[in-house]
């Protein structure tokens, strides 16, 4: 159970870029990302995660799902409603992060149906810190 990739992006730019590490701020999100909320992130909008196994099955490259953190060896759906740790960052799984028409427009027709109920989760950052590629993911 580990972090395989981290992707960030700006609101005006369609492309996401890979980083080796990112600072997560409690209640705000990932610094430098389009979804960072300095005034406070709405519930479930601080962090998105997706399973690398799902990304690969869908024939997508890491980052193409538009999720910030790609992990392996963990069933993310099982973390909804639970606290978990990503590296030194404590998170709370809020809800499934369902695929949308924006994702379909950026990838291919049919991806919404293909990824329904398995496109990752939305989470809150409860205790901030740094998330690095290679960090472990564990339920608390």
Domain extent at residue 134: 2-139
CATH of the domain at 21: 2.40.33.20
Q: Are strands 47-51 and 69-72 parallel, antiparallel or unpaired?
A: parallel
What's the pLDDT tens digit per position in 78-95? 999 999 999 999 999 999
Give the count of domains, the chain: 1
Give the pLDDT score at 105.
Answer: 86
For residues 114 and 30, give the distance between their C-alpha atoms in angstroms, rounded to a whole number: 28
13 has a pLDDT exceeding 70 = no
Q: Which of 57, 49, 68 is nearest to 1 (CA)?
A: 49
Q: Which of 139, 133, 128 is nearest to 7 (CA)?
A: 133
4 to each of 29, 38, 43, 108, 112, how far by Cα in Å?
19, 26, 25, 23, 23
Mean pLDDT on 5-24: 89
- The separation between CA 135 and the C-alpha centre of its own chain, rounded to angstroms, equals 14
Determine contact, residues 67/57, Cβ cutoff 8 Å. Answer: no
Task: Provide the pLDDT confidence category of residue 12 given band limits of 50, 70 and 90.
Answer: low
Give the pLDDT score at 104.
Answer: 87
pTM of the model: 0.94
Determine contact, residues 81/123, Cβ cutoff 8 Å. Answer: no
């Amino acid at each position: 159970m580990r972090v395989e990739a981290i992707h960030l992006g700006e609101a005006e730019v369609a492309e996401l870029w890979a980083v080796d590490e990112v600072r997560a701020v409690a209640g705000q999100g990932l610094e430098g990302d389009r979804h960072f909320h300095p005034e406070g992130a709405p519930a479930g909008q601080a962090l998105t995660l997706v399973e690398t196994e799902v990304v690969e099955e869908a024939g997508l490259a890491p980052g193409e799902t538009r999720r910030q953190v790609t992990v392996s060896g963990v069933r993310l759906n099982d973390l909804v409603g639970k606290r978990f740790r990503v590296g030194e960052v404590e998170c709370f799984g809020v809800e499934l992060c369902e695929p949308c028409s924006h994702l379909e427009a950026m990838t291919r027709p049919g991806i919404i149906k293909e990824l329904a109920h398995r496109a990752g989760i939305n989470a809150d950052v409860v205790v901030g810190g740094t998330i690095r590629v290679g960090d472990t993911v564990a339920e608390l």
